[in-house]
Structure 1
């Protein structure tokens, strides 16, 4: 998985969808990542992807637009194909120096009779129509103008992306190396990227050869209207919003339960004079009953020892001493306890 939460930021890199080149991210990965971030907070998403599955790109775009908090996108390296649609979810889209953005029509393949091919054309046209509306909403262009841009396959430098309305600003920071992708698949890809993919052997065929689609008898083939397509997209977006809401509620409940457990442990009579041990037992996941039993057998801190506090029993684990300063003193409150305090303070406002 290449959807990483780091210092309150979300980093997305690699293929959009199933894991090609052992590096990628799906809409499910993004849902898990967002569950670790306050939904109301401002979020910076660092994006570096050559694209991938069109429907996964649409789903991830929907997840970001459904967030109550502000979402900003920083393109590092490249945002092409499905990744460029994800970028459009940013309240602000910033292009790093040397980065690239590419917009084109979705593509696909079919194995079967004329009815099967017609279904694929219908699906691709529906996707292209939906994509064009998203690009139009960001750039201020009409959907028809964006559709022409997609058909021609356009590659943009940072300044060009800003000039066309697909980005809001450029950054002077150095761009990251572009994500692995078979750029030879694109009709108008820069020669430099095609050569890089060839040198690195970034080939879709060598990593994941396409499998023939299962043929099914054609049944009453009927072209969907724009309204029907829009209704389907709205249903998908609403479903994703419900998933985000459920995950957020689950996270809030977990935080509330942890707050209550910590309050109960620290409020125990046995915790008086043994606060450091009580805090340690909470962070270790002990229940109130288990913490009480442990505290009842532990000696209290020496009142004349000044800042010296109770030292938990030496742990024989791979992470031994991880939560202590080099001088042996406990670290300042951090980790889960600090996050619980911060969350409790926020919930009281």
Structure 2
């Protein structure tokens, strides 16, 4: 992985306005994670965890809506830990993309639904390293431990053999909704007549990004942010 591409992914996502919202009403809590994960270039674990803990005691179920290119693995792990500790039923709805670290969160919710046309991507952990050869060797050891943790999370959810999971991680595998369901990463597929909109992020750091995420659909099928905001406003008024 060339370092400039990874740095550019961070910088491009840092420049985007943050898109993180939550609402709760009549026992139902909703969190919208439509951004990268990480305090520097996306949504922090501290902000995410503060929101869901503020809802605890006022909701019976929590619905997490995800459209994220991933981000900081340790921030995502902290988010997943907080989700797993909630004493309410939890649901994940992958509405477009759950890539890299963003795939951690659905692994700990009770049910996972993914929109038809969405993607679920897993790969080996990355990092940026500076220093001498000993510093780099330490990072290799850390990355190995992170990969083991990732494999444990996917294995627990899917029941897939570890060798197969390792192969998928090494290959940077992008699953369609149907494939993610077939392999146990999700529980159900939400059918839709609309194509997924083009990616909102720079995904050039990834090797195997599907063309559907780099080429936009016709204008009439593109993601309507204004419509989504009107839907959220209606929810907030009820």
For the Cα contact (< 8 Å) 2:37–2:101, is it kept in 1?
yes
Distance 1:152 1:83, change over 3 A: same
TM-score, normalised to structure 1, is 0.52
Q: Which residue of 2 aligns with 1:135?
A: 154
Cα distance in 1 between the residues matched to 2:20 and 2:84: 17
Cα distance in 1 between the residues matched to 2:198 and 2:187: 21
1:190 to 210, 227, 230: 210
For the Cα contact (< 8 Å) 1:74–1:94, is it kept in 2?
yes
Cα distance in 1 between the residues matched to 2:168 and 2:153: 13
Cα distance in 2 between the residues matched to 1:72 and 1:38: 15
Q: Cα deviation per residue 1:290-335 (whole Å; 9 max; x = unaligned)?
A: xxxxxxxxxxxxxxxxxxxxxxxxxxxxxxxxxxxxxxxxxxxxx9
Q: CA deviation at 1:4?
A: 1.4
| Corresponding pairs, count | 194
Q: Which residue of 2 aligns with 1:6?
A: 23
Q: Please, which runs of 5 or more residues in structure 1 have no aligned partner?
A: 197-334, 336-349
Q: CA deviation at 1:183?
A: 1.1
Cα distance in 1 between the residues matched to 2:161 and 2:125: 18
Q: CA deviation at 1:164?
A: 0.7
1:27 to 36, 45, 50: 45
Work out which of the two has the higher radius of gyration on C-alpha atoms and give 1 or 2.
1
Distance 1:4 1:27, change over 3 A: same
Q: CA deviation at 1:43?
A: 0.8
1:161 to 165, 175, 180: 180
Q: Does residue 59 of structure 2 align to residue 57 of structure 1?
A: no
Cα distance in 1 between the residues matched to 2:34 and 2:196: 11
Higher strand share: 2
Q: CA deviation at 1:51?
A: 0.5
Cα distance in 1 between the residues matched to 2:123 and 2:117: 20
Q: CA deviation at 1:17?
A: 0.4
Cα distance in 2 between the residues matched to 1:177 and 1:29: 27
Q: Which residue of 2 aligns with 1:95?
A: 114
Alignment partner of 2:32: what SS? Answer: strand
Report which structure shows greater RCO (CA 8 Å, sep ≥6). 2
Q: CA deviation at 1:27?
A: 0.7
Q: CA deviation at 1:45?
A: 0.4
Cα distance in 1 between the residues matched to 2:190 and 2:80: 23
